[in-house]
Structure 1
Amino acid sequence: MAREIAAALPGWTTVRVRALPWESGDEGRLLDCVRDHLGHGADLGRRIDTKDGSTLLIFDDAHWADAASLRDLTSLVLRMRRGRCALVLTCAAEVMPDLSAVLAEIRAVADLTVTVPPLSTDDIRAVLQNEVGVQLGATTLRRVADCTDGRPGRLRELVSAVPADHWSAVDPVVPVPELWRARTLQKLRDLDDHARTAVTVTAVLGREVPFAVVRQVCGGYTGPGHALAAVSAAVTAGVLRVVGSGSREYVDLVDGADRHVVAGQVSPEVGADIHRRAAQVFEERGDGEEALLHLTLARSATGEVDTREVATYAEDLGYQGLWRASSRMFRLAATVEPDQGTAARLQLAAVEALLAAADIPEAVAQAGSLDRGRRSPQQDSMLGYLAIHEGRRSEAVGLLSRASDALMSGGRAVADGDIARLAARQILLCLVEWNIPSLVRWAELSERRSPYTSGDRIESAAIAMVGRSALSGRPRLDVAAAGEDLAQTESRDVAVGWVSLIFDDPLTAYQRLSARSHLDVTERTILWKDAWLARTTLVLGKVEEARRAAELGLERAHRLGIAFLEPLLLWTAAEAADLQGRPELCRHYLSQLGVGSDAFMIQRIPAEMARLVIAHGNGDLAGAERAGQALCTLREETNISQPGFWLWEDVYSQVLVRLGRVAEADGFLAEAEERAAESGIDSVRARLLLPRGNILIQQGRTDEGLDALAEASDTVARLGMPFYEGRIDLEYGQLLRRLGRRRDADILFGKAQSIFSAMGATRMVDLTVRERRAGGVGARQGSAGELSPQEQQIAKLVAAGATNREVSAELFVSPKTVEYHLTRIFRKLSIARRSELADVLGGE
C-alpha cells in the first residue's frame, strides 16, 4: 500500500525508513534517519518546507518507533506553510503501551486511517502454495493462521525458517523461527517469575479464556495472592492483553508468535497439568463443555485422549440444538485426532454444525481450512451448499452435481442421512435456479429417504410447497409436520406466505411473514421472510414500510454473508424508492443489482424486473426494452412463466405497444394469457387485461378494449392490493384521456391519486395530478372550505411549517391521526405535498 501511494505521487521526494525494535528506546533516532536520507543538517523543517517542495515520508513498523520522533515529525507536517509533505505510518494493530497514546494522538489528526485485515485462511493457503508449492492440510493451516495472526510479515518469516520440502510432510510441524524465539525471550526476560507463569498459562490454555479462569489457574502455581499481580504485570509489559468486560473478560497473548514460542517450550506434562487445573476450575463454575474441552486437551498431551467421547458429546449438543457448541467440540476432536482421515470427517462435521446454526460467515471461514485434497461426496455437498449462499452458481452446481453422482450411483452403501441432506440442498439449488420440475423430484426423494420427523424432510417439504404450487397453478395445503420445531415452522411460514401472496391473499401472507421467532438458528429463514414480507407490504400499499423491511433484510443478508437473496430485497427497495420520488436512492438500489450471467435465476429475475418496471414508469423505453429482452432470454433458459410468481409480461407488453410493435405485443401477451387462464389468480388476470385493452384499442377495437380495461379495474378493486390497483387505474385513465373521454379519465385519475396518496407514493401522486391538469376536467384545486374544522386547523399549522409531531402536540391528537387527516386534506385539495398547502390557503 505504501508503494502504491509513492507511485501515485510522481515527482515527490520519497523518504522511507523502517523502525527497528532494538532502537525503540533511542529518542530522536527516527528523526536522525530522515536527516541522513535527505543529506541535510539539523533544521529538517527548512529542508522540507520549501516553496513548491513535495516530500513523502514513509515510516514502516512505526510500532517500534520512538515517541519523540513521531511527535516531532507529525508537528512538522501539520505546520507546513510553503511546501507539501505527506506522512505515512505503517504499524501493527497492537503496540507497546508507552507508544499507544502517541499513535492515538496521531490517528486523531490524521487525514486517513486504513485498517488492513489479516490474511484469511484461503489467503494463507494461496501464499504457501505459491511460496513452497504445497497445499497444506486443514490442521496445519489452522496452526499457521493461529501463530501468524494472518500477518504477511510473520508468514514470510515462518516460511523462510525451514526448507521448502519441510511442508511436504503429511502433517508438518509448524516451526518456531529463531527470530520469533529471540523476540519472545527478550520480552519474557523483562518479566518476573510470576508474570512469566501467567504468560505460560495463557499460552497453553489458548484464545478467549476468561480472565477469572486464568487468574485461578495461575494462583495454583504462584499462590492465590500473587495471581492478579502476575497477569497485570504481563499486561503492562504488552505481552498479554485483556479484552471485553464483566463475565466476557478474556486474557490472550498480544502476539500469536509469542503464543507459539511459549507453548512450544512447555513440556507435555506441564501442559497437561495446566489443562487439568483449568478443567477443574470450569467444572466448579458449572461449565461442563469447557471442562470437557480442557480435560480432552490434557489427555491428548499425554496420549490418553479418546476422540470418540468428544465426538459423541458434540453430536449430543447438536441434538439439543446447540450447534455452535457442537461445532466447537467437533473441531476439538479433529485437532487431537491422530488419524488424518478421521480428523477430516470431524472437521467437516464441525462446518455442518455451523451451517445448522445459520452461521454462514464462520462456516465459510472454517470450510477454508478443510483439506481440499481429501475430497468426499459429503464435503462436496457441504461446499456446494455454501456456494449457494455466497451466490457462486457454477461452483454450487458443479459441487452438488458431483456429490449427487457419487452418492446416487448405487456403487456403495450410503446412509439415508447423507441422501436426505443432499436432497435438501438440491431442493434449495433447484429453487434458486427456478428449476421447478427437478425441485419436485428431489422433494419426492427426500420424502422417501428421510425420517418422517427429520429437519431436512420438514424444511424440504416447505420449499416443495412453493414448487408444487408453481407447477400445478394451485396453492398447496398448509399442514404442520409431525415433530416440527420452531425453526421448521419458520420455514413453513415462508412457503405459506409466499404462496399466499401469489394467490391473492396478501393479508395471510403478511401475517405469516411477519411472525418471527428471533432464534439464531432461524435467521437464514427470516431473511427469506424479510424478502417476501417487503414485497407483500409493497403490494398492500405500505411503501415506506416495504422499503424499510427490504433495508432490514439487506442488513441481515450482509451480516449473515448470504448474497443470493439480496436482489430479491433490492427489487422491492428500488420500486419503493421510485414510487416515493427518490431518484437518487432508487439509482443506488439499482446500482447494487448488477448481477452477472453466472448468478442464480432468483438473482437475475428480480434484477431485470426492477429495471423493467422502473424504466417503463419513467418513460425510458430503451431501458425497459433491454430489461424485457433480458427476461425473454431468461425464459429461454428455464421456465419462469408460472402464473403469478414472476409476472412481468404485462409491463413488457405495454412497452412493446408504446414502441409501436403492436402485433408483437399481441402475440407475446397471448402466450401469457393462455398460461394464466387456468390459474384462477385474479390479480394476474387484471394485470394482463390492462395491456390487452390497450392492444385492442390500438387495433381499432375500442369498445372491446374499454371493456377489458373496465374489467381489469373492477377486478383489482376487489383484491385489496393498492399497489396494483393504483397502477391499473392510472394507465386506464391515461388511455381514456387519449381517447378524448376526459371526464371518465378524471374519475380514474382521482381514484388513483387517492390510492397513491394513501400509499405515500409521491411520484405517482404528482403524475396523477399532472394527468388531471392535462385533461382539464379535474385540474381545479379544491377549496379550503371543503375541509372539516379539524382538517382546517391541521392544514394551517402544517402550512406554517409545523411537523406532524408538533401538530399532534398542539391539538392533543396522535401523530397517526395527523397523518390520516393530511392524506384526506391532500386529496380534497388535489395537491401532492406539504409545501403546496401554503399556496392553497394563502390564495383564499
Structure 2
Amino acid sequence: MTTPRLPSPVPPPARPPSTPEGGPSASGRSASPGGWPPAPGATPTAGGTPPPAATPPLKGRNEDRRVLDDLLAAARTGRSGALVLQGDPGIGKSALLEYAAARAEGLRVLRSAGVETEAEMPFAALHQLLRPELARVRALPGPQALALNGALGLGDAAGDDRFLIALATLSLLSEIAEDGPLLCLVDDAHWLDRASADALLFAARRLDAEGVALVFAARDGFDAPGLAGRRLGPLDAGAAAELLAERDPHLAEGVRNRVLAESRGNPLALIELPRTADPFTPMPLPRRIQEAYEARIAGLPDGARSMILLVAAEDTGDLGTVLRAAGRLGLDAADLGVAERAGFLTVGGGAAAFVHPLMRAAATHSAPFDRRLAVHRALADALDGEDDRRAWHLAAAAFGPDEQAAAALERSAGRARERHGHAAAAAALERAAELTADPGPLARRLTEAAMAAADAGLPERAQALAERAVRLVEEPRSIARLAELRARIAFERGSVHTAHDILLSGADRVAELDPVAAGLMLVDAGRNAWQLSDPRRVEEAAARLRRLRLRPEDGLDAAVDAVEAAAVSLNAGPAGALPAMRPLARDARGIERGSYGLRINGAFVAGLVGEFETQRQISVALVEECRTLGMTGLLPIAYVTLAGAELYLGRFRSAAADAAEGLRIAADTGQPHRTGYLEGILAWIAAVEGDEGRCAGLAVRCADHFAATGIANGLAWSEWALAALDLSLGRHTRALDRLEAALTGPVRHQIQAVYFAPDQIEAAVRAGLPDRAKEPLERLAEWVDVARLDWADAVLARCRALLEPDDEIFSAALRPHGRPLERARAGLGYGEWLRRERRRRDARPHLRAALETFQRLGAGPWARRAAAELRAAGEATAAPAASDRLAALSPQELQIVRLAVTGLTNREIGARLFVSPKTVSHHLYRAFPKLGVSSRVELARLGPDLDPDTAT
C-alpha cells in the first residue's frame, strides 16, 4: 500500500548547516533525547516513513522499542492498542515517537502535539491530529458527524453531550483504518487541551479490532486511566556514554565524567550540560537545562531575542501572525533567521516552532515584564475580529481590570461552550473574572466559570469558583444554580450529607422570590436523604416542600409526591408508600421521549413498587434513546435501572451485560458514584452463579462505596449478595445471621429489606430455626398485601409453604408470574417436600422443571441441588449442560448479537454501543461459532432464541 504524506502542522525545514547535532528533528523537537539523531538534513515524512533498516539506532531503550514494535505489529494484524510513554523532560519520549514513526512501514501516520499556550483552545490538538482526514467525517453516522464538525469549527455546534464527540473520534479513527493500519502519535500530551484529551482517551479505551495504534508521550501528571503505560527511566551507563561521546567527542575526561554523573542518564542533559557555563550548579535538571537555554538566548541580538519571545507567545506557530506582530514591534524576517540559525526555531511551510518545549519556557522566563506585555499587545493587534487567540492576548497584555479584554474572553467562552469545550470556557471565564471590577459582571462570570468547570469534569476547580461566586450573587436563579452545583459536587465526592444541607440552605434563600427553584432543590435534597436512609432529613425536605406556594402549573406535583412517599416509606415502611409511588411509575411509562429526569425517577420508583416489567420498559426506551442520540452522560443511570429490572425478572445474562456496559460508560464519563449499584447487581448475579470469589470482590467494592458516601443502596446490595451466596451454597445459618445484622443499620429502610425477606425465611427454615422466620414473613406479607402483584403473591406462598408445607400453598407458589428463578425455587421446595413425603413420582416433574430453569439461568449451585434431589427421587440426571446458546457469549458479544439480530448494520451497532464497526465485526466473528451459525442470515433465523425477553 502507498502511504500518503501527512501535511505536518509545523513542517520543519532541513537542519541548517550551522545547527549542532541535536538540533531540530522531523517533529520540530530535539532529536537527541533518547539517543538517536537523524542524519543531518534528513526529514522523515509524517505519513510515509523509511523502512526499518534505514532507521538510525536508538541508544539504549531496547525494551521500550520492543513494546512499540509489538504495538505496530499488532496494528498490522488488525488489533488495536494504546500506550502512554511518561517521564521527565528530555528523557526521550519524543525520540521514541520518532522511532515509532520510522518503524511504521505500511501504516498511515497521524500526528499531533499539545502546546502549553493552546491548552485553553478547545479541540485544538484533535483538529491537528485529524486535519488530513476531515473529509471522511461525512461517512460517520449523522449525529456523530454533526457533533465532530461542530467541535472542530467546521459547522454549527450540535448535540448536548460532549462524549458524542469522543465517539465520533473513535468512529473516524476506525473509518481511516479501513484503508489499512493506522498509527497516531500524540506528543506533549500533558499540554493537550482538555476537550481533545477527553476525546482521545475515550477513543483509546474503546479501541479493539480496528488496527489502530495510539501512542501518547507525556510528562508525569497526565491522567490516562485504563491505558497501558511505560515510565521512561534514565539511559544506562553504556548508552549514556555512547551518546555523549557521539555528541561531544572532544570533552576532557574529567568534564565528561562529571557530565555523565550530573545528567543521571537524561539524554537532553547529556547534550546541553556541556554547553552550559556552569553545568554543575545544584538544581533540578530541567531547570538547569532551561537556564542553559536562557543563557544562550541572552547572547543573541536584541531583535532575535524579541522574535523568540514572539514565537513563544504565539501559540499556533502561524508564521503570518508572527510576522504581522513582528512588524508592529519593528522586527523583520532577518531576526527570525538569526533565531533559526542559533538552533532555537524551525521555520518553514508557513510555521515556526521551537526545537524543544524547554526553549519556549526559557524564552518566556527570561523576558522582562514590559517586553512580554508589548508582545501580547502586538499579537492582539495582529489578530482581527472575534478570534479566541486575540482575546487571550488582550488578557495577557492587561495588568489590571480591563473590561475590553474581559468581554472578549466572555465571548470566547460562549463559543467554546457551543463546541463542548467546557474546560476552555471555564478558563476564559475565570480569567475574565480576574479582569472585572464591577461586582455584578464579576458574580456572573464566576458563576458561569463554575458551571463550565463542572461540565468539564473539573470538580475541584468548579467548587473553588462556586465558593467565590456564592458570596457575590444576589439574583435568585444564580443562587439556585450555585446551590445545585455545589450540592452536585459534594454528592459526587461522596459528601451526600453536605449536599443535602447545601440544597436546604439554597432553597431557603430563594423560597420567597422563586418557589419553583426552591422546590426543585428540595426535591433533590429529599432524594439525597432517601439514598442515605435518613428519615429525619427526608421528612424535613417534605415539610419544607409543603410550605412552599407551589401551583399545579409549576409541574412539580409528581416530584413532591415522590418526596412525600419517600418520607412515608422511611418512617412507616415500604408498604405505606406504595399507593403514592405507583402512579409515578405509570405516568413515566407514558412519556415517549424527552423528560429524562421524570422517566429515570419513574423507572426507579417502578423498581421500588415491584413493577419490574414497567421498570424494564421505561429503561429500555431510555437506553435506546440515549444510544441513538449519543447522550452518553445519561447512559450509566439508565443502565442502572435497566440492569436492576432484568435482574429481578431473571434475565441474568442481559443484566450482567448491561451492568458491565454501564460500568464502562460510567468510567469513561467520570461518574464513579454510579458504580455501586451496578457492581451490586453483578455481585448478586455472581452469587446465584456460585462464583464465590467474584461475588466477594464485588460485594466489598459495594460496601466501600457505602463507607465513602453513606448511600445505603451499595451496602444493601453487598449484604444481600453475600447472603444469597451463602444460601445457594448451603450455609444457611451464616446467610440468616448476615441478613439479620443488615437490618440493624440503614439497610432496613431500603426496598431490598422487602426483597430479601424470602431468602431470610428460607435460611431460617433450612437452618432449623423457624422462629427466626416470623419477623421477615410479617414484613413481606405486609408489603405483598398492599402491592397486589402476582409474583409477590406467589413468593409469599412459597415462603408460607416452606414453614407449613401443603399442596395447595405450593400450587399457588408455582403459578406463572414472570420471575423464573423464584418459580424454580418454589418447584425445588415442593419437590423436596414431596420426596420426603415418599411421593417420589409426584416430585420428579417439579424437580425436573426446576433443574431445567436453573440450568438455563446459569444458577449452578441451585441446579446441583435440584439434580441431587432428582436423583434421590429416583431419576438419573445428566451432568448440567450449558444453559443455552447464549451462555458461552461474553457480555459484549451478547450486547452485539442482540442488536445484530434486529437487522442493524455494524456501523449502527457500533454507534449505539460506543465501539467501532470493526470491533462489532470482530465480536460477531467470535460469537457465530458459539451460536452455531456462520452468517447474519442464519443468526436472524434463530429468532426468539436470541430475544432477551424469551432467552430465560
Residue of structure 2 in register with 1:790 after alignment: none
1:639 correspondence with 2:749: yes
Contact in 2 for aligned 1:709/1:732 (Cα 8 Å)? yes
Equivalent residue in structure 2 for 1:682, among 778, 790, 798: 790
**Secondary structure of 1:561's match?**
coil
1:363 correspondence with 2:459: yes
Q: 1:320 to 1:100 in 2, by over 3 A?
A: closer
- What letter is aligned with 2:508? M
The whole-number CA distance in structure 2 between the counterparts of 1:674 and 1:276 is 77
Equivalent residue in structure 2 for 1:510, among 598, 602, 616: 616
The whole-number CA distance in structure 2 between the counterparts of 1:255 and 1:673 is 76
Per-residue CA shift, 1:510-549, capped at 9, x if unaligned?
2321233259995443221111211222333332221111
The whole-number CA distance in structure 2 between the counterparts of 1:536 and 1:688 is 20
Per-residue CA shift, 1:724-758, capped at 9, x if unaligned?
33333333433433443333332222222333344
Equivalent residue in structure 2 for 1:398, among 484, 498, 502: 498
Shift of 1:568: 0.9
Equivalent residue in structure 1 for 2:95, among 100, 103, 120: 100
Shift of 1:779: 3.7
- What letter is aligned with 2:667? H
Shift of 1:389: 1.8
1:473 correspondence with 2:582: no
Equivalent residue in structure 1 for 2:938, among 788, 793, 814: 814
Contact in 1 for aligned 2:689/2:860 (Cα 8 Å)? yes
The whole-number CA distance in structure 1 between the counterparts of 2:411 and 2:587 is 31
Shift of 1:655: 1.6
The whole-number CA distance in structure 2 between the counterparts of 1:312 and 1:453 is 36
- What letter is aligned with 1:667? E
1:272 correspondence with 2:362: no
Looking at both structures, which has the greater relative contact order when contacts are Cα pairs under 8 Å and sequence separation is at least 6?
2
Q: 1:292 to 1:517 in 2, by over 3 A?
A: farther
Contact in 2 for aligned 1:570/1:589 (Cα 8 Å)? yes
Residue of structure 2 in register with 1:650 after alignment: 758
Contact in 2 for aligned 1:609/1:648 (Cα 8 Å)? yes
**Residues 277-356 of structure 1 mapped to structure 2, 5 A cutoff:** 277-278=382-383, 280=385, 283=387, 303-305=402-404, 307=406, 327-338=426-437, 346-355=445-454
**Secondary structure of 2:321's match?**
helix
The whole-number CA distance in structure 2 between the counterparts of 1:304 and 1:219 is 28
Q: 1:149 to 1:416 in 2, by over 3 A?
A: farther
The whole-number CA distance in structure 2 between the counterparts of 1:264 and 1:415 is 52
Per-residue CA shift, 1:83-109, capped at 9, x if unaligned?
xxxxxxx9844427798349989xx9x
Residue of structure 1 in register with 2:321 after alignment: 217
**Secondary structure of 2:676's match?**
helix
Residue of structure 2 in register with 1:499 after alignment: 605
Residue of structure 2 in register with 1:786 after alignment: none
The whole-number CA distance in structure 2 between the counterparts of 1:604 and 1:235 is 67
Contact in 2 for aligned 1:500/1:509 (Cα 8 Å)? yes
Contact in 1 for aligned 2:487/2:502 (Cα 8 Å)? no
Q: 1:241 to 1:408 in 2, by over 3 A?
A: farther
1:662 correspondence with 2:786: no
- What letter is aligned with 1:261? H
1:604 correspondence with 2:728: no
Q: 1:372 to 1:523 in 2, by over 3 A?
A: same
Residue of structure 2 in register with 1:713 after alignment: 814
Shift of 1:585: 3.6
Contact in 2 for aligned 1:327/1:350 (Cα 8 Å)? yes
Contact in 2 for aligned 1:149/1:256 (Cα 8 Å)? no
Q: 1:256 to 1:222 in 2, by over 3 A?
A: closer
Residue of structure 1 in register with 2:508 after alignment: 408
Contact in 1 for aligned 2:401/2:435 (Cα 8 Å)? no
**Secondary structure of 2:673's match?**
coil
Alignment size in residue pairs = 631
- What letter is aligned with 1:617? S
Residue of structure 1 in register with 2:730 after alignment: 619
Contact in 2 for aligned 1:199/1:240 (Cα 8 Å)? no
Shift of 1:351: 2.6
**Residues 630-779 of structure 1 mapped to structure 2, 5 A cutoff:** 630-635=741-746, 639-640=749-750, 647-696=755-804, 702-703=805-806, 706-714=807-815, 717=816, 719-777=817-875, 779=877
**Secondary structure of 2:786's match?**
coil
Q: 1:181 to 1:540 in 2, by over 3 A?
A: same
Residue of structure 2 in register with 1:245 after alignment: none
Contact in 2 for aligned 1:553/1:569 (Cα 8 Å)? yes
Shift of 1:551: 1.0
The whole-number CA distance in structure 1 between the counterparts of 2:861 and 2:941 is 23
- What letter is aligned with 2:583? R
- What letter is aligned with 1:367? Q
TM-score by length of 2: 0.54
Per-residue CA shift, 1:98-135, capped at 9, x if unaligned?
98349989xx9xxxxxxxxx9xxxxxxxxxxxxxxxxx
Shift of 1:419: 3.3
The whole-number CA distance in structure 1 between the counterparts of 2:619 and 2:867 is 35
**Residues 142-157 of structure 1 mapped to structure 2, 5 A cutoff:** none
Contact in 1 for aligned 2:736/2:760 (Cα 8 Å)? yes
1:388 correspondence with 2:512: no
**Secondary structure of 2:625's match?**
coil
Residue of structure 1 in register with 2:13 after alignment: none
Shift of 1:318: 7.7
Equivalent residue in structure 1 for 2:648, among 504, 526, 539: 539
**Secondary structure of 1:331's match?**
helix
The whole-number CA distance in structure 2 between the counterparts of 1:421 and 1:183 is 59
- What letter is aligned with 1:363? P
Of all paired residues, the percent bearing the same amino acid is 16
Contact in 2 for aligned 1:502/1:645 (Cα 8 Å)? no
The whole-number CA distance in structure 1 between the counterparts of 2:523 and 2:834 is 52
Q: Which moved more, 1:554-563 or 1:602-611?
A: 554-563
1:594 correspondence with 2:703: yes
CA RMSD, 1 decimal: 5.9
Contact in 1 for aligned 2:683/2:696 (Cα 8 Å)? yes
Contact in 2 for aligned 1:180/1:261 (Cα 8 Å)? no
Residue of structure 1 in register with 2:365 after alignment: 261
- What letter is aligned with 1:385? R
Equivalent residue in structure 2 for 1:489, among 577, 581, 595: 595
The whole-number CA distance in structure 2 between the counterparts of 1:343 and 1:179 is 41
Unaligned runs of 5+ in 1: 1-24, 28-62, 79-89, 109-117, 119-142, 152-176, 243-248, 284-288, 697-701, 784-801, 833-844
The whole-number CA distance in structure 2 between the counterparts of 1:432 and 1:423 is 14
**Secondary structure of 1:337's match?**
coil
- What letter is aligned with 1:750? R
Contact in 2 for aligned 1:656/1:662 (Cα 8 Å)? yes
The whole-number CA distance in structure 2 between the counterparts of 1:450 and 1:325 is 39
Contact in 2 for aligned 1:737/1:775 (Cα 8 Å)? yes
- What letter is aligned with 1:634? G
Shift of 1:674: 2.2
Residue of structure 2 in register with 1:161 after alignment: none
- What letter is aligned with 1:429? N
Shift of 1:661: 2.1
- What letter is aligned with 1:657? V
Contact in 2 for aligned 1:203/1:262 (Cα 8 Å)? no
**Secondary structure of 2:749's match?**
coil
The whole-number CA distance in structure 2 between the counterparts of 1:710 and 1:777 is 22
